[in-house]
Structure 1
Amino acid sequence: MKVILVDDERLALIGLQKSLEKEVSGIEIIATYMNPTEAVAGIVEHRPDVVFLDIHMPEMDGMDLGRQIQAATPGTEIIFVTSYDQYAVHAFELQALDYVMKPIQKDRLKQTVSRVREKLSVKREQRSKDTNVPLICCFNQIQFKLPGKDVQVAKWRTSKAQELFAYLLHHRNQVIHRSVLLELLWPGMEEEKTTHQLYTAMYHVRQTLKTCNMDMITIQSGHLEAGYRLELGEAQLDSEQWEREIRQWKVVDASTVHAYEQALHLYKGTYLGNYEYMWAEPERERLRYLLLYHMRQLCLYYQQHGLAEKVVESTQRIQHMLPDEEESYFMLMKLYDEMHNDLGVEEQYRLLTTRMEQDLEIPISEDITEWYQDWKLGLTKVMKK
C-alpha cells in the first residue's frame, strides 16, 4: 500500500510516520509533505493509494487540498487527520474514507488501515471483473463488451431472435422447453407451423453471437429435453456484477459511503428497460427495489450528517424511479422547508397532487395535506421554535 503523509507540523508528521511503520505491516510511505502545493505535485507524480491529510493548515485549508487531490487523482483515498472534530461533516462531503482525531490511538490507526485495505481489495477485484471478462450489458439495452474493447450493440436479424436470446439469457443455465418458446414468440399458433421459425430464429441468435465475438455463450439443445439451455461461459452480466457490489456494503458509514455511492451509480438503467417484455417485469421490480432500499440507507446517512443537498439529490432519484410513492414527495417538502426553499415545497406538493389525484385518481394522504396546510399558515416554523 503506497502512502503519502501531509501535515504542516513536522513533529506530527514524524509521529504519524513512525506509528504507521511500527504498528502496520505492508505500508510503504513514499513521501511526506509540509507544503500543500508541493503535496499536490507529489501526489500527481506518485499516485499513492491513500493520503493521510491534516485539515488545519495555514497555507491551504485541508478541505481545499482534498478537493484538489480528488480532481487530480480520483482513485486516491483520503484519510483526514485533525485535532478539530467540527470538520467531520465537511470530510464526509468530500467522501473521505475515514476521519481520525489526534492524538491517534494505535487501535484506531489499525482500524483505519484495515478499512483502506478492504477498499483497495474491492477496487482490484472490480477492475479485474470489468477488464478481464466479457460483459453482457442488460441495463436498458442488450449490449456486449469484450475486454479492452468498446461496447457494441448487437444487430439482431429479427425482433423474434432478439427476444429469444433475451429470454434464454434471463433463464440462463436452465433448460427451456421448446413449447414454452413457441408460445412466447408465436402465441396461439399451432406448434408444427412455428417450429421451423424457432429453428431459424435460433440460427440467427447463434450467428449474431458469433459476429459479436461472444462465442463463449453457448446454447445447448437436446432431443430428450426438447429444449434449449444458454450457458454464459466466462461472460458476466452487468446486473449481476452490480448486485454483488451493492450487497457487499452492509452499513453506510464514513468508511463505506464513497463505495456505496459508486456502487449505486453503476445502476445504469432498468433491467431490459428498452424492451416491452412482460416476463422481465418481476426482475425489473426486484432490482429496482434493491436499489431503492440502498438509496434510502444512503439518504439516512446524509440526513444524520446534515448533508441536505445530497439528501435532495438522492430523494429526487428515488422519486424519478418510483413516481407513485408519496414518501419521496413528502420528504422533499420537509427538506425544502428546512432549507427555506418555499418554491421547492410548492413544486413538490403540486407534483404530488398532479400524480396522485389527476393521474391515479386517488387522494393524497391526510398527513401530507395537513402538513401542507400548516406550512401555508406558517405553523411548521412555529412548531420548530
Structure 2
Amino acid sequence: MITAILIDDEYYALVGLKQDLEELGTVAVLGAYQNGRDALAEIADLRPDLIFLDIEMPQNNGLELFDQLLEAYPQAAIVFVTAYNQYAIQAFELNAMDYLLKPVLPERLEKTLQRLDKKTPVPIKKQVSLHCFGQFSIQADSEEVIIPWRTRKAEELLAYLACAKGQFVSKEKLAGTLWPELSLEKSKANFYLTFHYLKKQLAEAHLALPIESERGKVRLNPETLDLDMIRFEMMIPSLDQLTEATAPLAEAVVALYQAPLLDGHYYEWSQPQGHYYELLHHELTEKLADYYQKQGDYHKAAYYQKKSMQ
C-alpha cells in the first residue's frame, strides 16, 4: 500500500483528491492539510511515500514549500498539483516526480502511481573520497567518478561543502556566496535548484554522499567520507618536531598535498583557505629539508628544499 499526504489550501480540491486516491484502492492517505506548516510539523512522523502538493497557496507557495518538505523528510516523492501549467518547467527542474493539472482524472492518478516504481534507485554504498588538493575530484572504491555536471555551480556547491569540513552552513550564506551578484531572493532560488541538481546527479552516479540538511543549514558529514583536507590537518600537529619515527609521516602528509586547493578553479571564497594550506605545506617541506640536511641525506634535503620553493 502506497502512503500519501495532501497539501492544498482549497478544501473541496483536497477532499476530492483524497476521495479519488482512496477509490483507487492502492493508496492510504495519512493526512490532508490546507496549511503547509501543519504538514511540515507532522511529515517526519507520518513518513509518506508520496506528497501531493498544490503550488498556488496564499500562505505557503508550493515551490518554496518543496525544499522544506524534502529537508524534513527527503525520502518522499513529490507530485505538484495545480490549476495552471505555467509552473511545469520549474516543477521538473526541481526534480518533482510528476505534475498534475486540476481537475485530476483518476486515470492520470494511476499513471502517477506507476511512476513511483520508476524512481531513481537507492545509491549503492561505496567507499567515497573527495580530493580537494589539486583538481577537485570524487573517487568511489578508489576509482575516479566523472560526473557531467549539469551546471558548474553544482560542482562548486559540492566543493564548498567539502571545504567546510563538516560544518553546517546556512542556505542564505551558500546562496549569497555562490551568487553574490544577485538579490537574496534570486540567489536563494538558484541555490535550491542547484542543490536538487547536485543530489540528483549524485544519485544517478550511485554515490551516497552524506549531505545533511537541518533547520535551514546544510553540511557534508565527514564521518563516513574520506576527505584529504581533514587527513592533512589531523596529521600536521604531530609533526612539530621531526624524528626518525615521524619523518616518514611528514613525507606522507607532503605527498597528500598534490597541488593547491581546488587547483584549476578560481573561487574567491576558497582563496584564504587555499593560502592557509599552502603555508602549512611550505613550512612542512622546509622542516623536512632541514631534517634530512642534518641527517646527511642530501638527496632528500635537496628534493624537499626544491619542493618548498614551488
Q: TM-score, normalised by structure 2?
A: 0.53
* 1:349 equivalent in structure 2: none
Could you say if the C-alpha distance between residues 187 and 313 of structure 1 is closer, same or farther in structure 2, counting changes exceeding 3 Å? same
Q: Is the 8 A contact 2:176 2:187 kept in 1?
A: no
- CA 1:204/1:292 → structure 2, altered by over 3 Å: closer, same or farther? same
Question: What CA distance in whole angstroms lies between the structure 1 residues aligned with 2:223 and 2:243?
Answer: 37
| CA pair 139-228 structure 1, distance change in 2 beyond 3 A | same
**Shift in alpha-carbon separation, 1:256–1:186, aligned structure 2, 3 A:** closer
Q: Would the aligned equivalents of 2:283 and 2:308 in 1 still touch at CA under 8 Å?
A: no
Distance 1:272 1:316, change over 3 A: same
Equivalence map 1:106-255=2 (5 Å): 133-147=127-141, 149-222=142-215, 226-255=216-245
Equivalent residue runs for 1:1-385 within 5 Å? 133-147=127-141, 149-222=142-215, 226-320=216-310
Give the C-alpha shift of residue 205 in structure 1. 0.9
Runs of 4+ aligned residues of structure 1 deviating over 6 Å after TM superposition are none
Q: Distance in 2 between matches of 1:269 and 1:203?
A: 30
What amino acid is the match of 1:219? E
Q: Is the 8 A contact 1:144 1:151 kept in 2?
A: yes
Say if 1:216 and 1:232, in contact at 8 Å, map to a contact too. Answer: no
Cα separation, 1, equivalents of 2:247 and 2:208: 39
1:181-202 deviation line (CA, Å, top 9, x unaligned):
2322222323333433222111
Deviation track 1:205-236 (CA, whole Å, cap 9, x = no partner) reads 112222333314223153xxx34333345112
Amino acid corresponding to residue 198 of structure 1 in structure 2: F
Which whole-Å CA distance do the structure 2 matches of 1:219 and 1:158 have between them? 21
Counterpart-to-counterpart distance in 2, 1:178 and 1:262: 36
Q: With CA pairs under 8 Å and 6+ residues apart, which has the higher RCO, 1 or 2?
A: 2
> 3-state SS of the aligned residue for 2:130?
strand
Alpha-carbon spacing, 1:286–1:192, altered in 2? closer, same or farther (3 Å): closer
How many residue pairs get matched?
A: 185
Change over 3 Å in CA distance of 1:304–1:203 after alignment to 2 = same
Q: Give secondary structure in 2 for the equivalent of 1:264.
A: helix
**SS at structure 1 position matched to 2:157:** helix
Displacement of 1:246 in angstroms is 4.1
For the structure 1 residues 213 and 262, does the alpha-carbon distance in structure 2 shift closer, same or farther, using more than 3 Å as the test? same
Q: Write the distance in 2 (CA, Å) between the matches of 1:193 and 1:253.
A: 55
CA contact (8 A) 1:218 1:230 kept: yes
CA distance in 2, matches of 1:165, 1:263: 24
1 or 2, which has the higher helix percentage?
A: 1
**Counterpart Cα distance in 1 of 2:180 and 2:309:** 36
Does the CA-based 8 Å contact 2:211-2:218 persist in structure 1? no
CA distance in 1, matches of 2:290, 2:296: 10
CA distance in 2, matches of 1:304, 1:150: 40
Q: Provide the rounded CA distance (Å) in 1 between the counterparts of 2:180 and 2:246.
A: 49
* CA gap 1:295/1:194 in 2 versus in 1, 3 angstroms: closer
| Alpha-carbon contact 2:162-2:227 (below 8 Å) kept | no
Unpaired runs of 5+ residues, structure 1, are 1-131, 321-385
Superposition deviation, residue 250 in structure 1: 4.2
Output the CA distance in 2 between the equivalents of 1:146 and 1:180. 29
C-alpha distance after superposition, 1:59-86 (max 9, x if no partner)? xxxxxxxxxxxxxxxxxxxxxxxxxxxx
Give the Cα separation in 1 of the matches to 2:183 and 2:284.
Answer: 47
CA distance in 2 between counterparts of 1:316 and 1:133 reads: 35
Structure 2: how far apart are the matches of 1:138 and 1:319? 21
